[in-house]
């Protein structure tokens, strides 16, 4: 059965460096869901958009096109109250609600409007509603469906930030690089001038930043290359693990592609570890959250485990069951409140939410890792993790306070660097076009390049030493 894309509804926010906003949930109103079901449409929901698909005839036209004056109504709800801390909802000059809903790309039918409602809230429990109204005969664009964007704007505040390095005269680049980080050719001047695109914290494989099992000694159990981690364990009956220090950051998002090269079962599995309290992921008393695939019976689900004092307990499982050799794109969202979201899809498919759970049992630890256990010789080098990145949020008031404390602590811990802390600084004025900061890796200094939307008393000048 063939489907065509009728339209996309995307959420954009210039607070985020890539413009993509994952801060709002989008869901159909009750009547709209009934219309979707009645037309046999498919609604794909993602963290930043929805896509509506319709069944096609053999000639490629929609089997049941939207009728004229049909109204699709979708409801928006913030995933967190932090959305209101960095969003300019009222224009300072006019007092009017400030958002843009005119960015319609490749649209040939219908028009689009957004309303931030209050009177609808008791009925729909929605903070905002979006209506897409078909007011002309509907047809599909030649290349894709109709694309509608809603854009929100960041709060207008500015800081004077002063960054220093041991080589402050060398264009404010970080030299040497912070262990465990790679900037993808982005230097601080580009970052602070607003010219750089959004970038991930990745390249976590620098020498000395990983701990590992040693079952293949004197050879390593894993090879770590640009964008790729691969197992190379002994021939049979092995349990391998690899970890690196990554301090928990509120709202962190892990992204990767996992490729097992075999069909997992109860004895042949793969794991990703988050917030582990120690580097040794085989330690009997370890505490961590673990995403595992591999179980008895036909097919495999992703299962989120809480490992407490070495004892695993399942706290969530994927909706989808996968068969055969496993290759998946993964996205893992975590918040300090204990909110976990696991998104997954086969390569080339649209990633969807598979697990959403709340668990705050463990104290977040400072290690991320991966593991595999297997019994077959062909599985020894069949585990691969590709394109691992950890995307960071933009700070909240707690993160701002933490960063300020980090800067203060560094000044006291490294008194021989004081001459650089103040004497060799260069001012950089930043506006509300923020970019993501650096991760707390291996105890190295962290900075959030822009300290977003502080309380008024928190505005001013800050000094950071890199």
**Domain match, 182 and 224 both:** no
Residue 160 maps to a domain = no
Domain assignment present for 52: yes
- For residues 130 and 72, give the distance between their C-alpha atoms in angstroms, rounded to a whole number: 8
> Tell me, what CATH number does 232's domain have?
2.60.120.200
pLDDT of residue 226: 65
CA distance between the termini of the chain: 56
Q: What is the pLDDT of residues 176-196, one digit of tens each?
A: 333 332 222 222 222 222 222
Q: Quote the distance between the C-alpha of residue 319 and its chain's center.
A: 20
| Range with lowest mean pLDDT among 17-31, 72-86, 162-176 | 162-176
| Listed residues 338, 357, 391: the one ending a domain | 391
Residue 331: predicted pLDDT: 92
**pLDDT value at 410 more than 70:** no
Res 287: pLDDT: 95
Q: Summarize pLDDT for 298-343 with one digit per residue, the tens.
A: 889 999 999 999 999 999 999 999 999 999 999 999 887 889 999 9
Domain boundary among 340, 360, 391: 391
Residue-level pLDDT at 70: 82
For residue 434, tell me if it sits in a domain: yes
Least confident of 143-157, 192-206, 243-257: 192-206
Residues 317, 438 within the same domain: no
The lowest-confidence range among 88-92, 163-167, 324-328 is 163-167
Is residue 94 in a domain? yes
What mean pLDDT do residues 164-181 have?
A: 33
38 pLDDT higher than 80: yes
For the chain, the 3-state helix, strand and coil shares in percent, each to the nearest 5, are: 10, 40, 50
Domain membership of residue 158 (yes or no) is no
Q: Do 413 and 319 have their domain in common?
A: no
Which pLDDT score, from 0 to 100, does residue 442 have? 24
Reduce the DSSP state of residue 352 to 3 states and report it. Answer: strand
With beta carbons less than 8 A apart as the criterion, state whether 344 and 318 touch. Answer: yes
**Cα(377)–Cα(182) distance, integer angstroms:** 34
Is 11 inside a domain boundary? Answer: yes
Residues 385 and 400 in one domain: no
Residues 176 and 110 in one domain: no
Average model confidence (pLDDT) for the chain? Answer: 68
**426-430 sheet: strands from edge to edge:** 426-430, 159-164, 461-465
- Host H or E run for residue 195: none
Tokens, residue 433: 């076009």
Residue 398 burial (10 A CB sphere; 0-12, 13-18, 19+): exposed
Looking at the structure, tell me whether residues 380 and 402 fall in a common domain. no
Q: With CA atoms as reference, report the closest residue to 269 among 384, 369, 346, 372.
A: 372
What's the whole-model pTM score? 0.48
pLDDT at 327: 92
Distance separating alpha carbons of residues 414 and 231, to the nearest angstrom: 39
Count other C-beta atoms under 10 Å from residue 284's C-beta: 8
Contact present, 331 and 249 (Cβ < 8 Å)? no
Domain count, the chain: 3
Alpha-carbon distance of 190 to 223, in angstroms, equals: 32
Q: Where are the beta strands (DSSP E) in 318-366?
A: 327-334, 339-345, 352-358
pLDDT tens string 336-388 = 788 999 999 998 788 899 999 999 899 888 888 999 999 988 898 899 988 78
Asked if residue 387 is part of any domain, the answer here is yes
Q: Give the torsion sign (CA, 133, 134, 136, 138).
A: positive
Give 227 or 46, the one with higher predicted confidence.
Answer: 46
Q: Cis omega (within 30 of 0) on the bond before 182? A: no
Indicate whether 226 and 365 sit together in one domain: yes
Residue 93 scores a pLDDT above 70: no
245 and 127 in a common domain: no
Weakest mean pLDDT among 84-88, 237-241, 258-262, 430-434: 430-434
More confident call, 100 vs 62: 62
Do 186 and 119 reside in the same domain of the chain? no
Task: Name the band, by pLDDT with cuts 50, 70 and 90, for residue 145.
Answer: low
Say if 204 falls within a structural domain: no
Q: Which of the listed residues 373, 391, 409 is the one where a domain comes to its end?
A: 391
Q: Are the CB atoms for 436 and 183 separated by under 8 Å?
A: no
Same domain, 106 and 188: no
* Domain membership of residue 7 as a residue range: 3-152
Q: Are residues 368 and 414 in the same domain?
A: no
**Nearest C-alpha neighbor of 280 from the set 359, 356, 214, 326:** 214
> Going by C-beta distance under 8 Å and a sequence separation of 6 or more, which residues neighbour residue 284?
310
pLDDT in tens, 108-136: 334 445 554 434 343 455 677 777 877 65
The answer to which of 29-43, 169-183, 231-245, 265-279 has the lowest mean pLDDT is 169-183
Do 449 and 462 touch, CB atoms closer than 8 A?
A: no
- Over residues 235-267, the pLDDT tens digits come to 888 999 998 877 666 667 788 899 998 899 999
Which sign does the torsion angle of CA 375, 381, 387, 388 carry? positive
Mean pLDDT of 18-47: 88
> 315 with 357: CB under 8 angstroms?
yes
Our CA angle for 4, 324, 47, nearest 5°, is 45
Q: Which of 154, 153, 146, 152 is nearest to 9 (CA)?
A: 146
Say yes or no: 189 and 221 in one domain.
Answer: no
Measured CA to CA in angstroms, residue 103 lies from 99, 265, 325, 328 at distances of: 11, 48, 42, 33
| Tokens found for residue 219 | 């050879």
- Which of 35-49, 116-130, 139-153, 411-425 has the least mean pLDDT? 411-425
């Amino acid at each position: 059965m063939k489907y065509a894309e009728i339209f996309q509804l995307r959420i954009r926010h210039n607070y985020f460096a890539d413009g993509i906003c994952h801060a709002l949930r989008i869901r159909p109103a009750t009547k709209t869901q009934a219309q979707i079901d009645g037309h046999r449409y498919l609604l794909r929901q993602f963290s930043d958009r929805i896509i509506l698909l319709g069944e096609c005839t053999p000639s490629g036209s929609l089997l049941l096109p939207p009728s004229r004056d049909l109204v699709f109504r979708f409801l928006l709800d913030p995933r967190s109250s932090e959305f209101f801390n960095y969003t300019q909802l009222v224009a300072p000059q006019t007092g009017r609600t400030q958002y843009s809903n005119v960015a319609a790309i490749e649209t040939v039918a219908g028009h689009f409007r957004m309303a931030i409602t209050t009177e609808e809230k008791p009925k729909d429990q929605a903070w905002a509603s979006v209506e897409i109204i078909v007011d002309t005969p509907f047809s599909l664009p030649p290349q894709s469906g109709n694309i509608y964007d809603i854009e929100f704007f960041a709060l207008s505040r500015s800081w004077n930030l002063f960054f220093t390095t041991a080589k402050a005269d060398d264009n404010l680049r970080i030299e040497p690089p912070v262990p465990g980080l790679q900037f993808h050719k982005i230097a601080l001047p580009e970052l602070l001038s607003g010219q750089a695109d959004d970038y991930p914290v990745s390249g976590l494989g620098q020498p000395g930043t990983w701990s590992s099992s040693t079952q293949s000694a004197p050879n390593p159990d894993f090879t770590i290359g640009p964008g790729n981690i691969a197992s190379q364990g002994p021939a049979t009956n092995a349990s391998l693990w690899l970890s690196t220090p990554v301090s928990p950051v509120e709202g962190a998002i892990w992204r990767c592609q996992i490729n097992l090269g075999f069909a997992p079962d109860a004895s042949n599995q793969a794991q990703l570890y988050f917030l582990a309290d120690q580097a040794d992921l085989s330690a009997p008393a370890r505490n961590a959250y673990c995403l595992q695939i591999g179980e008895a019976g036909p097919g495999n689900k992703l299962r989120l485990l809480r490992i407490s004092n070495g004892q695993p307990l399942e706290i969530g499982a994927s909706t989808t069951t996968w068969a055969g050799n496993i290759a998946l794109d993964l996205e893992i969202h975590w918040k300090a409140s204990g909110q976990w979201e696991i998104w997954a899809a086969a390569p080339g498919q649209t990633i969807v939410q598979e697990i959403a759970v709340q668990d705050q049992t463990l104290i977040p630890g400072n290690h991320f890792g991966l593991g595999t256990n297997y019994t077959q010789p062909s599985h020894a080098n069949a585990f691969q993790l590709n394109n691992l990145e950890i995307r960071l949020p933009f700070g909240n008031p707690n993160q701002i306070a933490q960063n300020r404390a980090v800067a203060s602590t560094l000044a006291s811990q490294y008194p021989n660097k004081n001459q650089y802390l103040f004497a060799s600084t260069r001012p950089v004025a930043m506006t509300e076009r923020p970019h993501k900061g650096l991760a707390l890796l291996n105890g190295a200094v962290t900075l959030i390049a822009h300290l977003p939307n502080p309380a008024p008393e928190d505005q001013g000048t800050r000094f950071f030493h890199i």
